[in-house]
Amino acid sequence: MHPLLHLSETQRAVISTAREFCAAEVTPFAPQWDRDAHFEPTLVQKLGELGFLGMMIPEAYDGLGFDTVTYLLALEEISAADASVGVLMSVHNSLPTQMILKYGSEGQKHAFLGPMARGETLGAFALSEPDAGSDASSLRAQAVRDGDDWVLNGTKAWISAGGHAGVILAMARTDTPDARKGGKGIGAFIVTPDLPGFKVGKKENKMGLRASETVQLVFDNLRVPGDRLLGDPSLGFAYAMQSLEAGRLGIAAQAIGIARAAYEHASAYAAERQQFGKAIGEFQGIQFKLADMATRITAARSLLHTTAAAKDRGEPITEYAAMCKLFAAETAMWVTTNAIQVFGGYGYTTDYPVEKLFRDAKVTEIYEGTSEIQRIVIGRAGLKGR
Ligand SMILES: Cc1cc2nc3c(=O)[nH]c(=O)nc-3n(C[C@H](O)[C@H](O)[C@H](O)COP(=O)(O)OP(=O)(O)OC[C@H]3O[C@@H](n4cnc5c(N)ncnc54)[C@H](O)[C@@H]3O)c2cc1C
């Protein structure tokens, strides 16, 4: 189990539990879910029963109260089995639960964190819009105060698990059209699907991550009670950006899980497939590919766990979280591309798992900040230090 990492007994037990869970509940079904673009709703309860949906929620709210390092170890395992289950777990644990935990009132924590930790309700994060992706602070969804309530109008795009989530952290403008304040004029709201004016819109038909539902959410005069506003009405964007740092560590773990699965399939195939009278793994050209895969995966994991440990010590990690996501995502893309090469023509078919891993890997270079945006974060941090 990850020889370079010094794992505690608890961390080893978490990894074993995740592996057993995946062997029984995920791996046998993932290819069919992928073919059918099927989101399996029973996974939420099953993950919740094992504590995987409350990994960093304190025990006082029925979570496991683990640190980031332990959470990421579990997330790598789940993602190696199916990246769609990985993103469900990553978004839920890194974004809505953490936002409520960090910025919510005691009442909000008591109302929402317990059910989320137990897997009774799933969390989603709604920042992006059709015309606001990388430039998220240009979002247009508008929140207007009406008595004690807020009334929200707008369309959120690309929302993972948006049609199945029971708690959605939605960002909307609280400034007014005549006095726009950019990222300082946005609030974060705890939206539940029972509120009047909540609609699930278009479902995306994706190349990968097909078992993860991705939908638009339409807020049509959505009436949100005043006690569902998270913290300060002008700081929602800052809360979202801060939480995305942890989110990026989660996506890095997901990417490492995808890459590791591809590497394991490729090395097993290289040991078996015979050409020119010997296993292709005996050819240096193939061995070098496997060596580069193993090296990049180990480097990505080492960077990730060093950064996660720094986060758990309370140190600032902004540029390092960006490096983790950038490097792990590009590793996943490179490893899955080369895994298909090791499989030759068979790798290009749906009979073998590497083409799915290749399709799943691509999104890690796109969501929670594209690779270009990660480079901007890292580049700016470097210039600031001069
Ligand atoms: C499967 C999936 C699930 C998602 N889940 C969620 C979710 O749960 N919640 C949520 O809020 N969002 C979610 N997203 C949205 C995701 O975060 C955005 O797709 C992402 O931020 C990029 O935005 P965009 O797609 O609008 O691309 P754009 O911002 O339009 O970017 C297009 C291209 O331009 C590049 N670019 C943009 N600006 C610059 C710049 N300044 N310099 C250099 N290059 C630049 C980008 O890197 C990219 O290559 C999801 C997306 C996908 C695909």
Whether 66 is in the pocket of ligand 1, judged by its Cβ within 6 Å, is no
Q: Could you tell me the two tokens for 213?
A: 């539902």
Fold of 9-122: Butyryl-Coa Dehydrogenase, subunit A; domain 1 (1.10.540)
Kindly state the average pLDDT of the residues 329-338: 98
Q: Mind listing the pLDDT tens digit for each residue in 237-252?
A: 999 999 999 999 999 9
pLDDT tens-digit map of 175-216: 999 999 999 999 999 999 999 999 999 999 999 999 999 999
Q: What average pLDDT does the segment 91-95 reach?
A: 97
pLDDT digits (tens, 9 = 90+) for 114-152: 999 999 999 999 999 999 999 999 999 999 999 999 999
- Cα(270) to centroid(ligand 1), Å: 36
The predicted model gives 267-276 an average pLDDT of: 98
CATH architecture of the domain covering 238-384: Up-down Bundle (1.20)
Residue 2: which pLDDT band, with cuts at 50, 70 and 90?
Answer: confident
What is the pLDDT at residue 3?
Answer: 84
Point out the catalytic residue in the list 77, 319, 365, 368.
368
Distance of CA 229 to the CA centre of its chain: 24
385 pLDDT tier (thresholds 50, 70, 90):
confident
CA 318 / ligand 1 centre spacing (Å): 18
pTM (two decimals): 0.98
pLDDT in tens, 21-69: 999 999 999 999 999 999 999 999 999 999 999 999 999 999 999 999 9
Q: Is 214 in the pocket of ligand 1 (CB under 6 A)?
A: yes
Cα–Cα dist 242/259, whole Å: 27
- Of 122, 128, 214, best ligand 1 pocket probe by most atoms within 8 Å of the beta carbon: 128
Please say if 368 is a catalytic residue: yes
**Would you say the CATH fold of 124-234 matches that of 9-122?**
no
Task: Report the pLDDT averaged over residues 273-301.
Answer: 98
Q: Would you place residue 286 in the very low, low, confident or very high pLDDT band (cuts 50, 70, 90)?
A: very high
The pLDDT tens digits of the residues spanning 58-75 come to: 999 999 999 999 999 999
Cβ–ligand 1 distance for 329 under 6 Å, the answer no
- Domain ranges in the chain are 9-122, 124-234, 238-384
Query: Percentage of the chain surpassing pLDDT 70?
Result: 100
Pick the CATH number of 124-234 from 3.40.50.150, 3.40.50.2030, 2.40.110.10, 2.40.40.20: 2.40.110.10
Between the CA of 325 and the centroid of ligand 1 the distance, in Å, is: 14
Residue 157 — very low, low, confident or very high, per pLDDT cuts 50/70/90? very high
pLDDT at residue number 158: 98
Is residue 237 lining ligand 1, measured as CB closer than 6 Å? no
